[in-house]
């Protein structure tokens, strides 16, 4: 079996704390776009014109923060991943597409590797490296197989001066890596695993670094962009790599200049004044009208929906028998008015005032809507009858379920944080208000991000209910993270034989269509059991607004991988 990539495969087995998509500078993946979303993109975007790209120009961009860690093997944040993905290459990338009915493709395509061959038993992958890949200055030599081995050893803590990478657990399925010659890699797996190739493509894992450079102090790779200047806390400048292995035409722009602007209002004013090429992150819909008035010929681009998902989780560590009673879990989900939560997220009046088409309401499942065909509409035909009941708003039925379980009002607390994802806090507060009108008496327990990350992600220990949030690029990743034991996984301490066996079978299935069927079955079972109750992700439709003259900024959208590829497609006609 051979190919340049394997379609419809999952990302790595575990993403650590903070790997959410709350930093909207990263173009996260979206599911199959609804007709209204597609119409919005077609009606508001003039960025892809069919004109011939030209070289030259500079993009001035803003970011909310400078990465705390610049070595990508130790990074766990979206800001750090985007920072690194411009400069470093990987063996594979995730294929980019414009928004539309085929987005996201989730297809793994070559980067430094030319492709691969895999044995029929799925245990041995042989990869050939491109011969035109070159390390950037000051290293300035070909990238060869021994460099990949160096990175493999570094990730696994076998290079002096470096500990085990935070993402090393993503490669738990690998038995060995060898290099028979300068341009050949041979991977041996312990068992077939559909998450192997996506782990090599994810921008949190296998960024390739030259052994001559200390990556805690310098940023040197083989990607589309070269780090020209870096000032912690202030910003950085990237210049095009003229020797990039996907050149020589791309990247089209000469430079990308990033400035740290923490305050969104300040960044918006800088855009309105013509000092920034793009609005910061995902632009709030309520800001669009004022931007249109201030910026002539501003280009409004609908950007991919985030793959983040937010849940209310039941403690698996406080010993409370209530959380094991399915009637109590059903009472919680039936007390949530998801339409009201949607309206709080999307703000239909702001959409109308901005002159944008209305957005179709959808509900989250245990796999987010953003993942297209992998998501099951919990109100649709593919959802089981129990799942459809679980999303029906019926506070009277919720109270009857609590009474049937032999309880009056349920006294508990919900642990959440206002700082890790500030946009999520109001959604959880609204959800708790709904629950307290339907047989619950929940006190909000806000904690800072550090306590939350340690207590929830690190130890999976809390009392009562908890905000559970994260972001993963593919459906397989979500199922592993929610239900299977491992570092930073299984926060509710689920032990379900159907899920344990079913997920193991799914990971061993390399045929994409067969795996899709299994994902749907597991998703239905997970939402039937309600170990976690999905609430609305607090972003709604998201837009990026560009100054006139920039082209193809919406041409190459990718899920969690390929920032440098995306930036290499832009061009400027000023």
pLDDT digits (tens, 9 = 90+) for 186-222: 999 999 999 999 999 988 889 999 999 999 999 999 9
- Do 363 and 334 fall within a single domain? yes
The residues, any chain, with a CB within 8 Å of residue 561's CB and separated by 6 or more, are 85, 90, 93, 94, 201, 202, 203, 473
- Do 348 and 457 fall within a single domain? yes
Whole-number Å distance between alpha carbons of 248 and 30: 30
- Do 85 and 195 fall within a single domain? yes
Range of the domain at 287: 2-303+541-572
- Residue-wise pLDDT for 119-131, tens only, equals 999 999 999 999 9
- Using alpha carbons only, what angle is made at residue 542 by residues 537 and 547, rounded to the nearest 5 degrees? 160
Q: What pLDDT, on the 0 to 100 scale, is given for residue 561?
A: 63
Whole-number Å distance between alpha carbons of 100 and 110: 23
Give the mean pLDDT of 345-370: 84
Q: Tell me how far CA of residue 504 lies from CA of 119, 481, 489, 514, 530, in angstroms.
A: 20, 13, 15, 14, 20
Sequence length of the chain is 574
Question: In three state form, how does the secondary structure of 317-364 look?
Answer: CCCCHHHHCHHHHHHHHHCCCHHHHHHHHHCHHHHHHCCCCCCCCCCC
- Do 568 and 506 fall within a single domain? no
- Using alpha carbons only, what angle is made at residue 145 by residues 141 and 148, rounded to the nearest 5 degrees? 95
Give the mean pLDDT of 163-189: 94
- Do 323 and 433 fall within a single domain? yes
- Residue-wise pLDDT for 106-116, tens only, equals 788 999 999 99
- Do 287 and 376 fall within a single domain? no
22: tokens are 């709350």
In this predicted structure, the answer to whether residue 574 has a pLDDT above a threshold of 90 is no
- Do 105 and 57 fall within a single domain? yes
* Structural contact between residues 531 and 482, judged by C-beta atoms closer than 8 angstroms: yes
**Three-state DSSP state, 439:** coil
Bridge partner list, 572:
550
In the 8-state DSSP scheme, what is residue 573? -
In this predicted structure, the answer to whether residue 457 has a pLDDT above a threshold of 90 is no
Q: What pLDDT, on the 0 to 100 scale, is given for residue 45?
A: 39
In this predicted structure, the answer to whether residue 232 has a pLDDT above a threshold of 90 is yes
Strand segments (E) across 17-57: none
Peptide bond into 251 cis (omega under 30): yes
More confident of the two residues 69 and 35: 69
- Using alpha carbons only, what angle is made at residue 348 by residues 347 and 350, rounded to the nearest 5 degrees? 70
In this predicted structure, the answer to whether residue 463 has a pLDDT above a threshold of 50 is yes
Domain count of the chain?
A: 2
- Do 23 and 96 fall within a single domain? yes
- Do 256 and 321 fall within a single domain? no
- Do 295 and 392 fall within a single domain? no
- Do 267 and 367 fall within a single domain? no
In this predicted structure, the answer to whether residue 62 has a pLDDT above a threshold of 70 is yes
Q: What is the b/e burial string over 492-505, where b = at least 16 CB atoms within 10 angstroms of the residue's CB?
A: bebeeeebeebbee
Place of tokens 């060869």: 144
> 169: pLDDT confidence band, cut at 50, 70 and 90?
confident
- Residue-wise pLDDT for 145-161, tens only, equals 999 999 999 999 999 99
Other CB atoms within a 10 A radius of the CB of residue 485 amount to: 12
- Do 172 and 274 fall within a single domain? yes
Q: What pLDDT, on the 0 to 100 scale, is given for residue 22?
A: 35
CATH classification of the domain holding 424: 3.10.105.10
Nearest to 433 by CA among 406, 425, 402: 425
Q: What pLDDT, on the 0 to 100 scale, is given for residue 554?
A: 86
- Residue-wise pLDDT for 471-496, tens only, equals 888 899 999 999 999 878 899 999 99
Peptide bond into 248 cis (omega under 30): yes
Whole-number Å distance between alpha carbons of 149 and 136: 19
- Using alpha carbons only, what angle is made at residue 466 by residues 65 and 423, rounded to the nearest 5 degrees? 35
CA atoms within 13 A on the CB side of 421: 30
* Structural contact between residues 507 and 194, judged by C-beta atoms closer than 8 angstroms: yes
Q: What pLDDT, on the 0 to 100 scale, is given for residue 49?
A: 53
Nearest to 296 by CA among 46, 42, 43: 46
* Structural contact between residues 299 and 46, judged by C-beta atoms closer than 8 angstroms: yes
CATH classification of the domain holding 14: 3.40.190.10
């Amino acid at each position: 079996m051979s190919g340049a990539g394997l379609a419809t495969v999952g990302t790595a087995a575990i993403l650590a704390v903070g790997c959410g998509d709350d930093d909207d500078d990263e173009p996260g993946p979206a599911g199959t776009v609804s007709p209204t979303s597609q119409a919005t993109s077609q009606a508001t975007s003039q960025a892809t014109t069919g004109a011939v790209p030209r070289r030259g120009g500079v993009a001035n961009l803003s970011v909310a923060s400078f990465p705390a860690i610049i070595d990508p093997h130790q990074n766990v944040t979206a800001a750090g991943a985007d920072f690194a993905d411009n400069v470093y290459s990987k063996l594979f990338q995730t294929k980019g597409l414009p928004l539309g009915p085929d987005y996201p493709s989730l297809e793994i395509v070559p980067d430094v590797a030319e492709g691969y061959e895999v044995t029929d038993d799925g245990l041995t992958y042989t990869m050939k490296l491109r011969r035109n890949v070159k390390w950037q200055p000051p290293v300035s030599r070909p990238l060869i197989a021994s460099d990949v081995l160096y990175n493999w050893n570094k990730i696994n803590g076998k290079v002096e001066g470096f500990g085990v990478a935070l993402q090393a657990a993503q490669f738990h399925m690998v038995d060995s890596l060898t290099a028979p010659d300068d341009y050949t890699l041979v991977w041996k797996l312990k068992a077939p695993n559909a998450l192997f190739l996506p782990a090599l493509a994810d921008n949190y894992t296998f960024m390739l670094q030259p052994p001559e450079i200390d990556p805690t102090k310098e940023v040197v790779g083989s990607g589309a962009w070269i780090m020209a200047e870096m000032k912690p806390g202030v910003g950085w400048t990237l210049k095009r790599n003229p020797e990039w292995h996907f050149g020589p035409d791309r990247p089209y722009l000469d430079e990308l200049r990033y400035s740290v602007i923490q305050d969104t209002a300040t960044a918006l004013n800088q855009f309105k004044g013509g000092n920034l090429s793009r609005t910061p992150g995902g632009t709030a819909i309520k800001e669009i009208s004022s931007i249109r008035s201030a910026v002539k010929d501003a280009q409004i681009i609908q950007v991919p929906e985030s793959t983040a998902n937010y849940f209310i989780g039941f403690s698996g560590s406080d010993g409370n028998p209530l959380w094991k009673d399915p009637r109590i879990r059903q009472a919680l989900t039936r007390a949530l008015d998801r339409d009201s939560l949607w309206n709080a997220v999307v703000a239909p009046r702001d959409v109308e005032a901005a002159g944008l088409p209305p957005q179709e309401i959808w509900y989250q499942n245990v796999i987010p809507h953003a993942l297209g065909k992998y998501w099951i509409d919990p109100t649709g035909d593919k959802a089981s009858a129990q799942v459809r009941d679980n999303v029906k708003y019926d506070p009277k039925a919720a109270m009857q379920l609590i009474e049937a379980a032999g309880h009056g009002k349920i006294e508990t607390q919900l642990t959440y944080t206002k700082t890790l994802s500030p946009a999520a806090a109001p959604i959880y507060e609204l959800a708790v208000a709904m629950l307290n009108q339907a047989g619950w008496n929940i006190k909000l327990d806000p904690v800072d991000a550090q306590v939350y990350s340690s207590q929830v992600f690190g130890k999976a220990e809390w009392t009562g209910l908890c905000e559970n949030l994260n972001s993963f690029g593919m459906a397989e990743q979500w199922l592993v993270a929610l239900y299977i034991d491992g570092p930073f996984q299984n926060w509710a301490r689920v032990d379900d034989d159907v899920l344990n066996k079913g997920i193991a079978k799914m990971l061993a299935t390399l045929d994409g269509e067969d795996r899709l069927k299994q994902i749907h079955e597991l998703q239905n079972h997970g939402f039937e059991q309600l170990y976690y109750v999905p609430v609305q992700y607090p972003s709604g439709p998201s837009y990026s607004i560009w100054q006139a003259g920039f082209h193809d900024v919406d041409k190459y959208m990718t899920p969690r991988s390929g920032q440098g590829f995306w930036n290499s497609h832009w061009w400027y006609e000023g």
